[in-house]
Amino acid sequence: MNSARDTRKPPRDPMTALGAMSGTSLDGVDAAVLVTDGETIQSFGQTGYRAYSEEERAVLRAALGQWSGRAVDAATEVVDTAHVEALVGFDEIDLVGFHGQTLAHAPRTRGTLQVGDGAALADRLGVPVVWDFRSDDVAMGGEGAPLAPFFHFACARWFGAAEPVCFLNLGGVGNLTYVDPGLARPENPGALLAFDTGPANAPINDLMQARLGQVMDTGGALAAQGTVETGALELFLAESYFSRVPPKSLDRNDFAEMVELVAELNDADAVATLTAMSAAAVAQGMEHCPRPPGRVLVTGGGRLNPVLMQMLAVSLDCPVEPVEAVGLDGDMLEAQAFGFLAVRVLRGLPTSSPATTGVQALVGGGTISRPANETAETA
């Protein structure tokens, strides 16, 4: 297995890239194809999804926040197996962008950990795999997250945005990307600003699992029956994270105390309050945008929660819409992002910047692994 840095001349023609993402919501593996040269998007292709079983989610939850040991090894096995099953059916692929599963993220102290063996995946699929996207950014003083902003810039260009726009990903953690499509490249000063807004679906999912044995509040049904506890909401917003200037990022469990703030509430009120916390965190984050955006486009599972979407619509001063409003796929946008980033890594283009992760200089993070039977050419 070859995990060395690639030394070949960067390809110039568009490539067919398959991106894979397993997010902090721990629901499963998203897989999506796009054709791109790493700067523009030519087209989108086939998609797929492989859900985690209840047993697999339990293994992953047991490893959250850990950096090594048996729990991490068990989680790695789950991640590798699920990704092979999710990706093996895709044909005519030039390369794969493999995010892996984040178990721990502490960029200021210990670093960041995404489990999954990209080299083994390259052997199994028979195509190059780009992986370990975050480590180089963290090593150079960056937050290592979020990493989708360079792709968001390409998306804004793809659908013809004429004014600043925000992409809001509501997965386990919420993250916001401000895009000014009037600038030529995503690395240009002012083109992007990105950061984690706060917790999104993770605390809601965790409470639903703990209290009711359910994976999520499907369709916001339980939140719709509840009343928001304003005292708990005010305590949540008093957290110092919200006053920090971005870029900034979070671990999935950084706001675990949210559940404690609603511990005495009934199920419906607790879920309604957690949902309001997620929306309020976004509203706080919007204050950091350099200019008011023309619209906020929401991706991730949170866009399917009408209660959360209504809370956002009330608290923000611009239209709030799912990304499907501009022809994008809100279930697959992050998977597509890592296919796009894989091509950028192969071409030697940056994948993060001071404005997206706080890194000291432009970074093109990622390790390229080639199948064992493929010999890499040298430049």
Looking at residue 189, what DSSP letter applies?
Answer: T
Instruction: Tell me which H or E stretch contains 346.
Output: helix 333-347
Give the pTM.
0.92
Q: Angle, nearest 10°, between helix axes 70-87 and 118-125? A: 30
Instruction: Using the structure block, give the residue that is written with the tokens 């910047």.
Output: 353
CA distance 174 to 231: 22
Q: Are 222 and 271 in contact (CB under 8 A)?
A: yes
How much is the pLDDT for 375? 46
Domain chopping of the chain, boundaries: 15-143+334-369, 160-326
Domains 15-143+334-369 and 160-326 share a fold: yes
Q: Are 273 and 232 in contact (CB under 8 A)?
A: yes
How much is the pLDDT for 217? 97
Beta partners for 49? 30
pLDDT in tens, the chain (379 residues): 334 444 444 556 999 999 999 988 889 999 999 999 999 999 999 999 999 999 999 999 999 999 999 999 999 999 999 999 999 999 999 999 999 999 999 998 989 999 999 999 999 999 999 999 999 999 999 999 999 999 999 999 999 999 999 999 999 899 999 999 999 999 999 999 999 999 999 999 999 999 999 999 999 999 999 999 999 999 999 999 999 999 899 888 788 888 899 999 999 999 999 999 999 999 999 999 999 999 999 999 999 999 999 999 999 999 999 999 999 999 999 999 999 999 999 999 999 999 999 999 999 989 999 999 774 432 2
* Class (C level, CATH) for 15-143+334-369: alpha beta
* Cα dihedral 141, 345, 20, 206 in deg (nearest 10): 10
Beta partners for 367? 131
* Class (C level, CATH) for 160-326: alpha beta
Go through 161-200 and write b for each residue having 16 or more CB atoms within 10 A of its CB, e for each that does not. Answer: beebbbbbbbbbbbbbbbbbbeeeebbeeebbbbbbbbbb
Pairing type for strands 129-131 and 95-106 reads parallel
